[in-house]
Amino acid sequence: MTHPHIVGIDFSLTSTGMATGLGWCEKTGRDGVTKLPLRNRYQTLNYLVSAIIALTNAERADLVLVEKLVFNRQDGGRGGAGERSYLYYRTVGTLAEVGVPVVEVPQATLKTYALGKGSGSKGEIVDSVARRLPMFHTGGNHDMADAAILAAMGADYLGHPLTAMPKAHRAALDKVTWPGVTR
């Protein structure tokens, strides 16, 4: 039986975590993006979009899951909010244009799938991936661990779970707005 090509992406300017439903995970990013001159910033962000799509082969994915983009309203745009937003929407838009179904997963839902509850630390998620999904070698990187959880959720939703997950964890699948993807 052929396994679907599932991709999980956790966006970050310096450490975007990426994973596939086959147990592969990696990260990409660049330090100092927000300090680059505008033209160089734009070019760098477009390079990162291309790298994310190429490294994951996302344009050929059956399903892509991304951690929902959320901003703190009080930060006033500090911390690369605009740049991260561009990275997110440019990647999602590129995939949408070629017909790849993309699903946003709120952080609490990702944590529910990983931990059985909607809250927990980054370290707890890394530990959960190491324990439940050892095929993903994250090296303790929380962005890669989040991407691995997203990929595992997508594989589970499409009927190809990467591991047996407890009922409390799988309840997260019911909280996601899934596209019309054939299960």
- Residue-level pLDDT at 171: 97
- Residue-level pLDDT at 70: 85
Q: How far apart are CA 79 and CA 14, in angstroms?
A: 11
Q: How far apart are CA 72 and CA 78, in angstroms?
A: 10
| Residue of 120, 98, 97 lying closest to 169 (CA atoms) | 120
- Residue-level pLDDT at 182: 56
- pLDDT tens profile 64-88: 999 999 876 555 555 688 999 999 9
Which pair of tokens denotes residue 100? 């790849």
**Domains in the chain: boundaries:** 6-175
Give backbone dihedrals phi and psi of 64, rounded to 5 degrees, phi first. -120, 130
∠ CA 70-142-165, rounded to 5°:
95
Q: From residue 123, how far is each of 13, 48, 130, 141, 144 by CA, in Å?
A: 20, 26, 11, 9, 12
| 6-175: CATH class | alpha beta
Which pair of tokens denotes residue 94? 């590129």
CB neighbour list of residue 63: distance below 8 Å, 6 or more residues apart: 4, 5, 6, 7, 100, 101, 103, 154, 157, 158, 179, 181
Give backbone dihedrals phi and psi of 140, rounded to 5 degrees, phi first. 80, 5
Low-confidence ranges of the chain (pLDDT < 70): 1, 72-79, 181-183
Q: How far apart are CA 22 and CA 68, in angstroms?
A: 22
